[in-house]
Structure 1
Amino acid sequence: MHANIDPETVITKLPFKVMDELSGLLDIPDGSGRPYWKALIAVLPGDMYTDIQINRFSMEGLSLRGGGSSYSLLRDLGQRYCKTVKQLAAYLDRLHYEAALLLIKATEPLSIADNPNSCSVMTGELVKFSCKGKGFPYPRYQWYRAHTKGTEGGEIVYDEVSGAVDSVLEIESADDSHAGGYCCKVYHIPNGQQCSKFTEWAYLTVIRGHTAPPSTSPSGQILAPPVIRQQPEGNLRVDQGRELVLTCRATGCPKPDYQWYKYEDNPKTGAIDKEHIKGCTSEVLQFAQATSLDAGQYICHVYNSVAEAWSTTSNVTITTLAESLKRTQRCNIEILRDPIDVQCLPSVDQKLECLASCSTAKLFFQWYKDGQPIEGETTNQLCFQDLKTSDAGKYFCRVTAENIKSEDSKVAELKFLTPEEKFTATDKVALLIGNEAYRSGTSLSAPGNDMEKMAYNLYRMNFKVVSLLNLTVAEMRKALKIFCSLLSEGVYGLFYFSGHGFEQGGQTYMVPADAPTGYLPEECICAEEVLASMQEKNTALNVLLLDICRKFNDFTQGEFKRFESEAKGNTVYGYAATINSEAFEVSHQGYAIFTKYLVKRIHEECSIYDILKKVINDVNKDPYGSKKQFPSLMGNLKEDRSLADCITYTGRTTEFNTRNDAWQRGHELPSDIPIAQLPYGIVAQIEFEIRFSNVMLIITKILNRGASTWCEATPAKVPPEVDIKLLKGHLEVPDLNGRQGEAPFYKAIIENIQRIRGDFIFDLIVNYEYGGQRYTQALPIRIDRPLISQVWLMDELETERSPTEDEYPDSSTSNSLV
């Protein structure tokens, strides 16, 4: 289990790394081929999700914006149902999915719940021994067999039973070679250290079928005489007042009964007779405190309905207190190794150890903390798993032996290293801009793809992400204004830009999509201007990540505006290139080298400085970037803040909720629209997805072909302010009789949503064929302004104009998905 996970916390509050690993494990198929997230839904209490909702989770794995089915499910369980980590662990426990549970469930101590039972069988019969362990990680098993080597009375050999690694040991056809004692090692491996326990021994008697017909009971049960497998100790010395224990174990069928006897003088005859000991009718003879009267010889009678057997005699000597003192006077306890002081971090494993010796007596250990005995800690080692701060203190071990003066070890102090200061944000907001479709410059292939991956990672780190594609200079200023309106004191602000850029006069500039040929600084956006706007909001952390070239601009002439911001020790710049050098993309693979490694590292739980240093090192080793691209890092960060820091908005709840509502308004999608009022039983549906804050996907599909022989549904006549790219694919859909057939579906990528000035109106064109004739039906669709257009109009920019229809490509452009 990852450190510092409170089982009562809501699932969505899990650290990003845990959520990421957990999602990956739940996406894996189980033994039946079904992904584990679907198996998880199956064990949830009640009918929490309908088939339609489950299908939505399935579609998340295919969404252009990334994410995954399991991640969406986990977020929904946390956000909508407020399910805790403890509840999630209980559901995964029902699936016995240990790999996932190891991320969120604490270690549970190992114990034996059921021991195997002895049995007697005929040659060739099936034998089953079973046991059960409890604990987490889940118990593993290994069976062992004990048998006599050579003739009876020879050396006892303990063999590992090959392949016997389950809780049940089966012997399909028993013979003489299987007879003997069996026990199982039950173990698990928490935190890389094996812990194990052994079950009690069970004994197998195999009766040869060819020697004589076996005896049977009226019910047909095999009858076997008792065979003693464990004899009581031959000579036992016990100190007066200590526990006396003798053990005799046997097998047989029916299960044998026991009666213990003690040899006593008969005053009438003068002979020594066996006197049964009242109440001693089990395998174990036990006296809690031995007295001088308990000295003597003991024997056990073992019997069942078939036959009887007698154990060997045990001679018990009781040592008086005086004799014990004489013996112990010759013995002193010597501490060989004292426990030592330990400094450590919380949530790690640690142990203290005390070694001692005494030549003639058994040693007993008792650990103390701050002068008080620790219950149950009675071995020479004191082990800690997942250390807590409450474990800090002063420890020593008291070593005793029977009737000997105890010795105390030296005191060892366990204390914690001063933990690194934990930083938090009152919220986290990111503005991502990717410009790739330049009107006058070279088009790029990477910004959209890279921004999509960045948005996905930041979203999973609880950033409120505003992601915008292909903005004009006016739109970039508007986006910056919206972004800064979401910032305030204590917030982490992140600005990312991917596109063209340049360096001039010690300032870095980002080129908008509408920049003219030979662009000048005043026609672009300055990174220092962005920082100055962010600093006005008194943020706790400002991160500017610029995947751009920084070559000097040869077109600049005369003076240009300079931007200055107050140094507050809260800023980091990550540049894809150093001054007067270039940044590169791998065009045929659609990614930029710098962002490739930024995406790989950005979620790591370490300082943003450290992340960017790793990214620089990665780029230097990249086969495409080595020796030609040189990222750089600049900043004045005085605290080791991380983008993975938690959000704590205590005392700022109203502000947090207001910001959350504002962000959600700018990312609202229309609800799916089912279209059932179509001829001949045709059923269509319109679905909406988000790629970026200003890019929406409209998916039109046929759900049922009805009585038609062919049909399709296509979006058309979208508002002229937006751009559209139409992709085509095919699905298997039923007709009225349930027969599956192929029907096309369309995915319209709607860009520049921010330019919409009213409701979003378009047509759904349904084409179908019936009776050999083709028909077309146009259905007008009107939806509220989607995504960023909701907030874009709240503060209209005078410099913006609505593009004309002539400036945009024809909406009929089509590219096949297949």
Structure 2
Amino acid sequence: MGEPGRGAAGALPLRRLAQPLLRRLSELLDRAVPGRGWRDLAQRAGSRGTVRLSPSDLEQCSLKVLEPEGSPSQSLLKLLGDRGCTVAELVELLQGLEHTEALQCLSLAGIKIVVQPDSQAVLAGQVVKLCCWATGHPFVRYQWFKQEKEIPHGTSPELVLNPVNVNDSGFYICRVNSESSFVFSRWARLEVCDVQGASHEGFIGLPENKLHICIQPQLQNLTVGDALVLECGAVGNPIPHYQWFRNGFPLANGSKNIYTVTSVDVEHQGTYWCRVFNDREDQDSEKIEVIIEELSDLQEPADLLERSNHRPVGLLYYAGHGYENYGNSFMVPVDVPNPYRSANCLCVQNILKLMQAKETGLNVFLLDMCRKRNEYDDTILILDALKVTANIVFGYATCQGAEAFEIQQSGLANGIFMKFLKDRLLEDKKITVLLDEVAEDMGKCHLTKGKQALEIRSSLSEKRALTDPIQQTASSAESLARNLQWAKAHELPESMYLEFKCGVQIQLGFAAEFSNVMIIYTRIVKKPPEIAVCRAYVTDFALDLDVDPKEANKGTPEETGSYLVSKDLPKHCLYTRLSSLQKLREHLIFTVCLHYEYPGIEDTMDERKEVNVGKPLIAKLGLHHGFKTKNCLQTCCVANNPFHNQMESSPVASQYYIPSHCQPNSCPGVYHPNRMCAGNIRQLEACSCSGTSRILATRHEVQNDSRPVGKSNVPVETTDDTVELEFLLSNSLRFPEQQQP
């Protein structure tokens, strides 16, 4: 790329700038300090040969001070514009004067994206265009990314993939950049459907963007215990959504293009089909039969018999504050006193003892916590001897006596251990082999070199993996009760429809992100024609819940902080995310407010309905004891312009999301290059991994912080690795001409 402002937009004539912007520039030049005023601008323009200005021209500008509303600078800018000066040339002149205010005035003229890239599903081999057009600033540049990676030569408003292939599937975004500010487009999801073994002839002649099913589900003949996998693929713009049906009824977990049942029974037999739809149209797939035969005792396969002999698996994953004294590891609850000792904590070795009592066949401990000593705890805990049993695996996030770090940035947090573990968690490998590979992955990250290394302890005597099927020969009353509790902790309120007096009907739906995090979404499903505009939102939640009104009733799930279930939620709704449902003491009661307007009437009409949805998800279990109802909220060192530090090397910090399990009377630990917050805070080091700036905090410091989520101008897309995208699309991104050699 060339110099800033030398593109087509930079060649915009100066006289084409909006009058309010010209007036603002004139004011800045009129009152500028010596060396940066309008005369200096005129002298520099003449010396560089940009525009020829005679002494009479300068005298004409100077005489404008005698007029009531006269401005020498405005007169000069008009002369420059009339004589062909471009915006790019003006920027160069102002840069020579080091007039940062005037340059900033141009930059803040505003970038407005008028054409957003569309999500779409296409066939492999087609030509795909993703478009992003911006106005409002005289010189903008474009930079396309596929998830976290910059696309080579992706610097035009249109990103063309010709031909598109399956590897092009993913999430795309465009960053529109000016001299000292930038905006992101919305995320565009591209699905590329590869119809193997078939030509594209059947799709020739279809209207562009037409919804069309290209992969039909196939007939299935299965035996009890087999896996059912049905696939349906479609192309179209807007991107298609899916809903599977069996015998005419929608399936609860059938909202993806692939429908699976891991182990079928005779009740799964029936007629299946998939309805594919978008905002414009819908289409049903072919109906197919799923036939399931029962096994006799003599037919039971050998591998099923072998799996039935496997004993249960004990698995503990813990992420949070912890310590290690005298070889024993302790997990620190959220409501411990300060200081705390072993009696206030949970000992990992005691949990292993309980697992051994259940004769578990494999015991796995994944501990994402610090292992430093607790100086306040001198108790030497004497435990009963553990049984000598094989198949015990410990995966410690860090070495003995060291800290475990967590990455915090832009509304997301992940332990270093979990960041790499989740990429391999479902791999069908021996557990120790899997953890070895996670350790190697962590070792390649410059972020934690010399600070944190995975430690593995194992007495594994069999080839056991996390993907091994869990078979339980008998269901005890205890396990049945526990399973019932687990099922209760995942019950959602039923979707409902609210009728308002004005005739508007609203759908109120619910989705679970975790057992203690619920998404509420509202959608207008009926609006009388005499109502011009209407909008519904939810409010008035219990103080027990962590609900930030600024993050509620958003147009996308991602804006609320929800990333894991966003792809499965219905579109064109308003979304609100409720967390900390374990703190809910009473029924969840909130208000649905409806605002609507009639044509020709300025006043907005309001209606309200109170909704009681009982105790959803984990709130059913009443697990609110010991949790604090108030959090210490603190916002620290937030800069308004994350891109500003690249231009003027100014210190910049982001707002960080910290889990709400903070300890009382604590002060947050925040990295800031030049500043310290009040209290005893240790500065942390900002490391570089893959060329991006990242922020580290120990598990101890994370435990002690409960800062609210801050809104970032860095977008987040809906893949599983949203943390990585937050880093790689942070303010460290630069355009090619800004890269250092």
Tell me, yes or no, whether TM beats 0.5.
no
| TM-score, normalising length: structure 1 | 0.40
| TM-score, normalising length: structure 2 | 0.44
